[in-house]
Every structure is written in structure tokens, then in C-alpha cells.
Amino acid sequence: MSYETIIAETRGKVGVITLNRPKALNALNAQLMDELNLALDAFESDANIGCILLTGSERAFAAGADIKEMEEKTYPATYLEDFFITGDRIAARRKPMVAAVAGFALGGGCELAMICDIIIAADNAKFGQPEIKLGVIPGIGGTQRLTRAVGKAKAMDLCLTGRMMDAEEAERSGLVARVVPADRLLEEAFRAAETIASFSLPSVMLAKETVNRAFETTLSEGVRFERRVFHALFATADQKEGMSAFVAKRPPNFTNS
């Protein structure tokens, strides 16, 4: 399927989505969010895909929601269409998503990166929630996911002042998993996605679900949930395969079963 605002392609077991509105620094308009969800639908239902890699350009991952599209919106319109519910649809995806972020990841762009499971940043990346400068606040989970990722002090700093955080500060604060030189971003992020996609998909998806559970429940319930999932994985052929391959000192051949 071809899209106008994104490029979606399959590379081995990795589904790669590149945001592609260069003239608007990949600002997230309704068409882009819809196309992104369509591409994710296709990758989620493709049994051969084990991980999704989301990226933008060297200059911008995404500079936020499209301000030109938002400017004239009214309160009833935003409420009736549940403006940016499309973000929740992305967050509900069960396959792992790696964000490769170079340049600006601002507003909705930062929020989109945070919806992904791992953020790998180029050393030129800049993160921020500058909505306050426009008279609004983050609307795709920024106040919540940023606070969970970096704590109240930094989240308040970013959301209230609108300042940007560079890649080094973002890594130090726990927002990004790794920082790599800009010219190696795609290679490094792809390698991470490829590694994830090489494992047994049920265990990968359950690992994602179980880590995310930590944000929704108490420690004792989370640990209990984890143990139940751990037990359940002994019902898979891939558990037998993974462990017997280790014992036999050979690479495993996972079949997602």
C-alpha cells in the first residue's frame, strides 16, 4: 500500500515506517495519523513482522501536531472527534515499536516517540513539550508518559517552560534508551529492531505487555502478573526450543508457537 505522508516498508522481520512530511518537519496532521495507523494495522496482522521501527528525517522526527491544521479548531469539534484518539490507537499496538529519533521530537512528536517501547536517539535529537507556548498543553499523553519516564521535576520543567532537552539530557533523565551518532542512528535502531524480531514473538509481546503493566498496577500485582505470564510461556514450543538450543550450544529456531 502506498501512502502520502509516510513510507512503510518491510525489511526482513522489521516493519519500517518513516514519517514523510519534510516541508512541515513531519508535523502530525490527521492524514499522517490515519496512515500511520493503517501501516501499523498491516504490520500487526503480518505474522512475519516481529518489530516495528518508526523514524523521521535527520532534521525532525516530528515537530508536533500540525499547528496549521489545529489553529481554527473549536472545543466542540475537538471533543466530538476525540481529537488525537489516534494516539491511543497507536499505543494499543501489541508488537514492539522502536523509535529512531533525530532532530526535533516536539509536542506530539515527543509524545509519539514516548508511545514507542524504546527510543534510540541521534546525538542531534531535541525533545520537548512546547504546547504551553501555544496556549495549550500536551494532548497525546505527554504529561503522563513524560512524568513516568523522567519524573515530576523534569516533566514540569519541560511542560511549564516549553524548553527543549538535548539527547544527552534525555538519556541522563531516562527518556531515551541509547544515544548514537546521527549518521549511525538508522543502522543502530534497525539492529535493535532486528534483534527483537529474531526472538519468539509470543515472549516478546508478553514482555512488552508485562513491562507496561508496571505503569498500571501495584508492585505486588505486577510481580504476580509477571510470574503468571512467565509460567504461561512454558506452554510454548519456543520455550522448549530456546532452552534446548542453549543446552545443545546451537542457535534457537523460534517458530512463534
The residues carrying an active-site annotation are 65, 108, 111, 131
Contact of 101 with 61, CB cutoff 8 Å: yes
Report the residue from 104, 127, 199, 254 that binds ligand HXC according to the rule CB under 6 A: 104
Contact of 90 with 52, CB cutoff 8 Å: no
Q: State the minimum distance, in angstroms, from the CB of residue 141 to ligand HXC.
A: 9
Residue 61 CA to residue 242 CA, distance in Å, equals 36
User: Is residue 141 close enough to count as binding ligand HXC by CB under 6 A?
Assistant: no
Report the residue from 107, 158, 173, 203 that binds ligand HXC according to the rule CB under 6 A: 107
Report the residue from 35, 117, 131, 238 that binds ligand HXC according to the rule CB under 6 A: 131
Report the residue from 15, 56, 130, 202 that binds ligand HXC according to the rule CB under 6 A: 130
Q: Tell me how far the alpha carbon of residue 230 is from its chain's centroid.
A: 24
Report the residue from 56, 64, 96, 202 that binds ligand HXC according to the rule CB under 6 A: 64
- DSSP lists the bridge partners of residue 245 as none
Contact of 159 with 143, CB cutoff 8 Å: yes
* Identity of the residue, 84 or 254, whose beta carbon is nearer to ligand HXC in the bound complex: 84
Q: Quickly count: other Cβ atoms within 10 Å of residue 177's Cβ.
A: 15
Which one-letter amino acid corresponds to residue 105? A
User: Is residue 112 close enough to count as binding ligand HXC by CB under 6 A?
Assistant: no
Q: Which stretch binds ligand HXC (CB under 6 A): 47-55, 130-138, 176-184, 221-229?
A: 130-138
* Identity of the residue, 21 or 95, whose beta carbon is nearer to ligand HXC in the bound complex: 21
User: Is residue 108 close enough to count as binding ligand HXC by CB under 6 A?
Assistant: yes
* Identity of the residue, 25 or 193, whose beta carbon is nearer to ligand HXC in the bound complex: 25
Q: Residue count at the site for ligand HXC (CB under 6 A)? A: 21
Write b or e for each residue in 22-40: b if 16 or more Cβ atoms lie within 10 A of its Cβ, otherwise e. Answer: eebbbbbbbebbebbbebb
Beta-sheet strand order (sheet of 126-128): 60-62, 104-106, 126-128, 164-166
Report the residue from 42, 91, 139, 225 that binds ligand HXC according to the rule CB under 6 A: 139
Residue 76, CB-side half-sphere exposure with 13 Å CA sphere: 0
Which one-letter amino acid corresponds to residue 179? V
Q: Which three cell numbers stand for residue 8?
A: 512503510
Helix (H) or strand (E) holding 10: strand 6-11
Report the residue from 6, 16, 19, 25 that binds ligand HXC according to the rule CB under 6 A: 25
Q: Which residues bind ligand HXC (CB under 6 A)?
A: 24-25, 27, 63-68, 83-84, 104, 106-108, 130-131, 134, 138-140
